[in-house]
Structure 1
Amino acid sequence: MARPNGSRSYLTPQQERELLHELRLGVSAHGWEGQGWTLARIARVIEEKYGVRFSVPGVWYLMDCLGWSWQVPRTQAVQHDEEAIAAWRTQTWPAVSHSGRP
């Protein structure tokens, strides 16, 4: 992959494809738990696998060039209970939100 200034990437196109495959395997395949990929984690995988050290901004740039974007996963608590939430909104919240008002 060529950079905007014309210089070559530190990774070959084959290495870039391999990296994307590694990232799709997920963080647990690389020994981490939860929270997904961070730029620092990606930099570590690149260094361990290819012996190339990237700065965090360099990883950001690389991932952008490879079509990956910064995203925060949407998560929901395991104990999420719509009925309990509805009851809280209709019963508990009105009782506490108006208390102490003149």
Structure 2
Amino acid sequence: MITHNCRVCGAVFESTRRDAMYCTPRCRKKAWAGAALIEPLPTLPGPVEREVRSILTSLHLDGADDVARAALRVAGAIDDPHTPASALAGLTKVLPETLAYLRETHGEEDL
């Protein structure tokens, strides 16, 4: 079960679906009728993503570099509790390789 917050009333509810937005059919109907929706809270970066962001900052990379964006996406997937365990092995292998490539191409070997 996955825990969600209802987009209409804000109530906490559990669902088997990742994309569930409403706690009851009543809230779903209210949303369909035009009720004001509560915006979901932004998620904070996890520990792996925070570490990758600090490394990218020390390399003076911003969001314009495609490889840096890919490293952030991989870090986010590692931190995501919904990432399947079968995918974590590959992700944890590719992230250090990606960061090593960024260090080589941007001149800081000692990080």
- Asked which structure has the greater RCO (Cα within 8 Å, sep 6+), the reply is 2
Report which of the two has the higher share of strand.
Answer: 2
State TM-score, norm by structure 1. Answer: 0.31
State TM-score, norm by structure 2. Answer: 0.29
